[in-house]
Amino acid sequence: MTLSEMIAVHDETALAALVSVGVVRRAKRDFEAGKAAVESRDEAAATVTADGKTVMIPASGLTAATCNCPATGICRHILLATFALREDASVEAAPVTSAADELHALDEVALRKFAGADWDKAINLARISGRATLTEDGANLSVQLPDVEFPVVFLAGQGLAGAVFKGAKTAKRRMAAAAALIARAQSGAQALDQVTQDEDKVAQMSPAFLGKVQSAITALVTGVFGGGAVVAEDLVFDLSISARAQSAPRLTALLRGLVQQSRQYRAHHIDFREDRFLADASRAYALAKALEAHPQDTQLTGTLRRNYRAHDDLDLVMLGAVQWTAASGARGLRVYGYAPQEGTWYTTGQARAAGMDPGFSPRNAYDAPLWSGGIARELMGAHVHLQQARVSEDNQIAWDHGSGTRLPMPDLIQAAFQNWAEARADIARRASVGLRGTGAPVPVLLAPAHIGDAQFHDLDQRYEVSVADQNNAAIAVTIPADQHTTVAWLQSNKAAVRAMLCEVTAVDLRQQLTLVAVLFKAGDGTLAVMNLTLDQQPQKKTAFGDRALSFLKDKVRFGGVGPGALPAGQVSVLCHAVFDSVAEVLRFGKSPGLGALTARADDLQLALLAQALRDFEKETTADQAMRVSYLAAQAALAA
């Protein structure tokens, strides 16, 4: 590449990827003030006087440029010289092939050679970065990975080695290789699931690796509360994309989540919460400890594949479906069926991991054949007799095995709870807890006696509706912020609602009920199902158009405290106070309130938490902090 071609691709965006935006702006102001002059120039190199300093820029790139100022790396004077050379009209740059076209023309052999020992990590990172965004800026290409703080910028003509990455130098090679793999996949050159790896994809995690994970977690926690978390962030992220971590999807997800939260803390982001960070860090730490003893326990590792076995015939009432996306970029469709004779919930669906099968869409799956019994959408609200089904241990039914025939609809009262105390007891029985808990949503069907007004939470960006049972006990049901018309329809058609299908998940150390589907009487008297994320609301004049907007304006309240935000229980109050004290110890080395918290835990008969607090008072280490935080998180969820 000639000097002119190299300078031509270093526009302001490319320069900002090399150094801070502020330095680029100052260099530009200096150039506009006439503080640079080109002394000599050919296609191999140029010499520029920049604000009294002498800068030499070779055709090989700005990283090889020199300046006689005391600064190291790419200084303001080199940027100033670059602006001067870009403005110099004595040599016109020849057109260059775009960076996107260059990446498309590469083959796997070239990428593998560039990545070297980071090859497997680059592939893993690319595959879990399904939400990566690509932006073409002239001939250059910027790739922003979802879990990475800085983009990778490919400069036209500079090749893989000339890619710009502002993050840690030790991470540049794998970041550039991962970004190149993503760019090639999106251009159709090579799909990510066709890229080969060297390491065994199901490599077992060694005690040494899990020890590194635990040390990295405590270093990150200490860094967040004591300053200097960047190095620990890079280490945790590096461990999360290793082939060994990929064999434990649950651990991988927790580690990546911790990195995201640490970055939120450094950015003073409003979404960062100390209690959530400590709870997630302690869970990841405890999981790594447990995997040391049970490295092949699928309840601990998590699994992307299930083993299905032949099952007896099933009678299922199809009660709802929801499309979902994960932070990693994975997405799918989840369909719920209830077996009245067994009193058991079953689930089926389709899903794809991040970066896999770009043409897959949960909405398309909703309109696809299910069990040879019809289209999934058409089976909603139907009673199906399923033969030749294949079912996993966790009651997942294989999507494409089985034959379904329709039956008369049974009475749903036996499936729907009319008493919220009974509903909570049933949820507690079915919800998995502890480290072996999968975290999968728990379905529950509620038959409300009264549906209250909706309230919108500005901070959390969600609706909450207070739903009362036959004893007038209230429970808060959450509706996603984008379901405006659903809220309007629900409020104006309360009398028609027979039941509400909700998913129960743990959010911010408490259980949250998210509305998935509404079961209601249609105009012809039959039972109909409306899935919030997949169906359009029935066309009723009272809930659409201008009337809907007017209704929302009149009926939806705005604020930060919803109808379900009742005074917290004593255990919950104690647990959040424990998180505050743990953060105080990690930040300042001590917390005067630990003794009182220990006594309170004893009073509430939380013996394990009380003992952990006593041990923490004696030894205020990050390891003990993880133990206390884990027990507090479990107690809060059980409260």
Of the candidates 58, 77, 161, which has an alpha carbon nearest to the alpha carbon of residue 115? 161
> Which amino acid makes up residue 113?
K
Q: Give how far Cα 424 sits from Cα of 207, 434, 569, Å.
A: 39, 18, 15
Q: What is the pLDDT of residues 388-430, one digit of tens each?
A: 999 988 899 999 888 888 887 776 666 799 999 999 889 888 8
Residue-level pLDDT at 542: 40
Higher pLDDT, 417 or 569: 417
Q: What's the mean pLDDT in 509-523?
A: 87
What is d(CA 246, CA 243) in angstroms, rounded to the nearest whole number? Answer: 5
CATH class of the domain at 309-409: mainly beta
End-to-end CA distance of the chain: 66
Question: What are the residues whose beta carbons fall under 8 Å from the beta carbon of 137, sequence distance 6 or more?
Answer: 11, 13, 14
Question: Is the pLDDT score of 566 beyond 70?
Answer: no
| DSSP assignment of 27-68 | HHHHHHTT-EEEEEE-SSEEEEEETTEEEEEETT-GGG-EES
Q: How large a percentage of the chain has pLDDT more than 70?
A: 90
pLDDT at 560 over 80: no
365-381 pLDDT per residue, tens: 999 999 876 889 999 98
**355 confidence band (pLDDT: 50, 70, 90):** low
The answer to whether the CB of 454 falls within 8 A of the CB of 491 is yes
What is the pTM for the complete model shown? 0.76
Task: Grade residue 11 by pLDDT with cuts at 50, 70 and 90.
Answer: confident
| Token representation of residue 211 | 């020890």
